[in-house]
Structure 1
Amino acid sequence: MAKKIQKGIHCKMKNKLKSSLILSSLLLNSISTIVLADNQEEEKQVPKEASVEFVADELPTPPVDPTNPDPDPGIPVIPTDPTDPTNPPTEPPVGTDGPLSIDFVSTLYFGENKITGKTENYSARAQGLFVGEDFKNVTNYAQVTDKRGTLEGWILSVKQDTPFMTEASENNKVHELVGAELSFKNAYISTHSEDPEVSTIKEKHIFVSGQEEEVLSTSKGHGGGTFTYNMGSPESLVVQDGDNENLKDDEKVIINKDINLNVPGKAVKKAEKYSTTLIWTLKNAVENR
């Protein structure tokens, strides 16, 4: 009887051992399968560079529309002469060479006016602009482009070279429009650059003959792209027609009321053209600070 009990116990132990071995084998197989699966899903990476390089552009930059300075390359922008604003030139005016350039500056024209003995304030003609085949009037402006790629900053200044004077006559004499004062106000900038920061903007300015004045500048780290310095707000553009007693005949023109030439009533005026030269200068900011 004792032998039978021992034999039964031995069988049970043997069966438990077999069960343990089978379970261990299954666990090992499962772990092996998991490790194998992890090894098969391991990421493999190969780093490769993608790059682009830029160099300074020496070619001139054409004029842009200051009301929409992000140009469409397929649509030319052509400023017109203020004495004949609706007659488009065959080609846009060309500015200075090089990657730091003055691309365009408006000519200021105050029209033909009747001589009076009163102090008069004459407004400049607006800047005519052809955008493709469409004509529009915009504020008079100066355009600057920095394509150097160094972000050194730049300074734009302007100087009235002489008083308003007539051209030399046969006896080599000129006549000065004594006391005539040129000024503008409400100046602002336009740009499509993602960095529009400027360090100086002169919103109003009275010219003094022979005196150079800084009107717009950017500091180091800024100034890349194209900027327009607009002399007057868009609201300053108004129609002036023949109802104005000083205008010749029955003119109907668009004027910029923010750019003015004030002429004292006591100034002696000849029935001739008076003019001056405005000299616009662009400098590297780093070298001129």
Structure 2
Amino acid sequence: MKKIMISTLLFSGMLSISMGQVHAADADSHDTIGNVGFTAPTTGGLTMTNTDALNIDFGSNPISADDKTYTNINDAKATVQDIRGTAAGWTLTVAQNAQFKTSDNDELTGAQITIKTPTLDSNSTATATVDQNLILTTDNTAHKVMGAAAGDGNGTAIADMNTGSVALAVPGKTVKVAKNYTTMLTWNLADAPANN
């Protein structure tokens, strides 16, 4: 009698499972669509950010009658943000407006800046290239520092000019006074794809 009851229970359980599977196969399903859109910002789609980090400091140095080359003592960065959503590309240039001078207009004759080994920061999200060994002239000529070709540039690109990567060569024959000299560097971001 016990064997008959166990067999009956097993058969009933299997039947229930089998019927459940048939019922599940008949379940209804539908596909729906999730949607999101983006529009280009009305302003600031292509811009330089963190511009305070562009100052380049060669420090305070003893006057010398020998030819000397000084390197930057700070980490400088040029940051371009492109959130236009077009991948149209861009070009970043720098120009030196005039020679280093003191507030009294004493000129550091023959001094020359070379941006030797800037690199693309690993935190960059944009595809861009960084130029090296840029010898700046004092006649306001623009030199390409970083650029994105057409099809690239979306996101943020950072050119690192870390300590020691920018050089200032000063001839020994140049007369120097014990004062601070400055020059103006103009950084320009153009809405034009770079020819990398």
Compute the TM-score of the two structures, normalised by the length of structure 2.
0.76
Which residue identity does 1:98 align to in structure 2? G
Which residue identity does 2:159 align to in structure 1? Y
Match of 1:150 among 86, 89, 96: 86
Corresponding residue for residue 39 of structure 2? 55
CA-to-aligned-CA distance 1:168-199 (integer Å, 9 cap, x gap): x4xxxx221111011122221025466x432x
Alpha-carbon distance between aligned partners in 2 of 1:152 and 1:47, rounded to the nearest angstrom:
36
Q: What are the residue-to-residue correspondences of 1:1-289 with 2, within 5 Å?
A: 41=25, 44-57=28-41, 98-104=44-50, 105-127=53-75, 140-167=76-103, 169=104, 174-192=105-123, 196-198=126-128, 200-209=129-138, 210-232=140-162, 256-286=163-193
8 A contact 2:96–2:183 mirrored in 1: yes
The alpha-carbon deviation at position 145 of structure 1 amounts to 0.7
Alpha-carbon distance between aligned partners in 2 of 1:156 and 1:108, rounded to the nearest angstrom:
17
Which of these two proteins has the greater Rg computed from alpha carbons? 1
Which residue identity does 1:226 align to in structure 2? T
Which residue identity does 1:180 align to in structure 2? A
The alpha-carbon deviation at position 44 of structure 1 amounts to 4.7
Indicate the RMSD between aligned Cα atoms, in angstroms: 2.5
Change beyond 3 A, Cα 1:57–1:106: same
8 A contact 1:156–1:280 mirrored in 2: yes
Residue identity (%): 30
CA-to-aligned-CA distance 1:190-225 (integer Å, 9 cap, x gap): 25466x432x42122111112101121112221111
8 A contact 1:180–1:263 mirrored in 2: yes
Alpha-carbon distance between aligned partners in 1 of 2:170 and 2:124, rounded to the nearest angstrom:
39
Q: How many residues align?
A: 172
Unmatched tracts of structure 1, length 5 or more:
1-36, 59-96, 128-139, 233-255
Alpha-carbon distance between aligned partners in 2 of 1:220 and 1:192, rounded to the nearest angstrom:
21
CA-to-aligned-CA distance 1:140-188 (integer Å, 9 cap, x gap): 2111111111211111111111111122x4xxxx221111011122221
Higher relative contact order (CA 8 A, sep 6+): 2
Unmatched tracts of structure 2, length 5 or more:
1-20
8 A contact 2:116–2:134 mirrored in 1: yes
Change beyond 3 A, Cα 1:191–1:226: farther
